[in-house]
Amino acid sequence: MRHPFKVWRDTADRLSPLRILTLACLAAPTIKALIDADDIIHSARPVDNLIHRAGFWTIIFLLVALAVTPLRRIARFNQLVDVRRMIGVGAFFYAVAHILLFTTDQMFDLTKVASEIIFRIYLTIGFVALLGLTALAVTSTDGMVRRLGVKRWQLLHQAVYVIACLALIHFFQQNKSDVSVPTFAAGLFGWMISYRLLVKWRKTRDEPPTWMLLALTVTISALTFLCEAIGLGIAFRVSPLRVLQTAFDFDLDMIRPGWLVFGSGLCVVMLDLVRARFAKPRRAARPTQPKLATGKPAA
């Protein structure tokens, strides 16, 4: 049986290249911050710089954890599910670093930290998201899967969608001047949620056909453009239609979030086309069940 802390080994206690690659990706933002240490220390607000980095990578890893289910199905690469928990726990560690850095920025005055969380709505929302992420991280062990039972464990872990929504709201609210990155992140989240709804609606384990993935991509990209236009229209008191008209003004310095969502969706469509050629028959992977360290499914 694998030692629970030897996360680089798979359930059969073999060295896992996929797990090692995942660990390297999770560590990369920290290593990058260490490489940039000199620039960070000499910047105007070093702690603020680190708060932003930690917050950014929390949301990125949260979204990557959510991307595992669509990607493992579309890429016909079921092993991906083996690293989903690891990515989720990685997101939690960055969230903890994020709030610890915030506390450092408040000179460790816990009364001030608490009052900021209570009176600033974007911090309240971030804090609720952090509490949710903590509950998921604490219950991520094999022991907790056994104790809760698979059904209850899976139900609890559905909370990740609400947590991701709260995290995105927090991201939007603290970034009032330029919401293009949060809009892109929200577009990707919308794609992943819609993909899950599509699979549920079709009531079959077969993969949705490529044309459906393309239709999904076009719809979500159009919605991203629309929501961005409405948001900018309200914020800057201009007509959303005028904002929409600028969708085809291409500027390489600032590619609009709708196009980025479209490009990402097209990459997934292409992946589906390629995999459909090599992986036959066109059946989806079995529904996920949390696996215990023994390699057996939890139930």
Q: In this chain, which of 97, 130, 243, 244 binds ligand HEM, going by CB under 6 A?
A: 130
The smaller minimum CB distance to ligand HEM, of residues 52 and 291, is found at 52
Which residue, 213, 216, 219, is CA-closest to 75? 213
φ and ψ at residue 260, rounded to 5 degrees: -65, -40
The two most distant CA atoms of the chain are separated, in Å, by 62
Minimum CB–partner distance for residue 54 and ligand HEM (Å): 8
Q: In this chain, which of 80, 117, 169, 261 binds ligand HEM, going by CB under 6 A?
A: 117
Q: In this chain, which of 61, 127, 189, 191 binds ligand HEM, going by CB under 6 A?
A: 127
Q: In this chain, which of 106, 174, 180, 210 binds ligand HEM, going by CB under 6 A?
A: 174
- Specify the 3-state DSSP secondary structure of 236: helix
Residue 171 engages ligand HEM in binding (rule: CB under 6 A) = yes
Q: For residues 56-75, which are near ligand HEM according to CB under 6 A?
A: 56, 58-59
The smaller minimum CB distance to ligand HEM, of residues 180 and 289, is found at 180
Residue nearest to ligand HEM (CB): 55
Q: In this chain, which of 126, 190, 257, 258 binds ligand HEM, going by CB under 6 A?
A: 126
Minimum CB–partner distance for residue 235 and ligand HEM (Å): 16
Pick left, alpha or beta for residue 237 (phi over 0 → left; psi -120 to 50 → alpha; otherwise beta).
left
State the DSSP string of 194-239.
Answer: HHHHHHHHHTSSBPPPHHHHHHHHHHHHHHHHHHHHHHHHHHHT--
State the DSSP string of 103-126.
Answer: HHHTTT-HHHHHHHHHH-HHHHHH
Residue 133 engages ligand HEM in binding (rule: CB under 6 A) = yes
Amino acid (1-letter code) at residue 180: S
Residue 52 engages ligand HEM in binding (rule: CB under 6 A) = yes
Which tokens in the block code for residue 183? Answer: 């809009």
Eight-class DSSP state of 3: -
Minimum CB–partner distance for residue 113 and ligand HEM (Å): 7
Eight-class DSSP state of 9: B
Which tokens in the block code for residue 75? Answer: 């890429």
Dist CA 232 CA 242 (whole Å): 10
C-alpha count within 13 angstroms, C-beta hemisphere, residue 142: 17
- Part in contact with ligand HEM (CB under 6 A); list of ranges 143-151, 167-175, 204-212, 248-256: 167-175
- Part in contact with ligand HEM (CB under 6 A); list of ranges 25-33, 119-127, 264-272, 277-285: 119-127
What number of chain residues touch ligand HEM (CB under 6 A)? 23
Residue 101 engages ligand HEM in binding (rule: CB under 6 A) = no
- Specify the 3-state DSSP secondary structure of 179: coil
Minimum CB–partner distance for residue 46 and ligand HEM (Å): 13
Cα–Cα distance list, 289 to 8, 132, 218, 296, 298 (Å): 20, 21, 31, 10, 7
Dist CA 247 CA 267 (whole Å): 21
- Part in contact with ligand HEM (CB under 6 A); list of ranges 3-11, 13-21, 80-88, 125-133: 125-133
Minimum CB–partner distance for residue 102 and ligand HEM (Å): 4
Site residues (vs ligand HEM, CB under 6 A)? 48, 51-52, 55-56, 58-59, 95, 98-99, 102, 117, 123, 126-127, 129-130, 133, 167, 170-171, 174-175
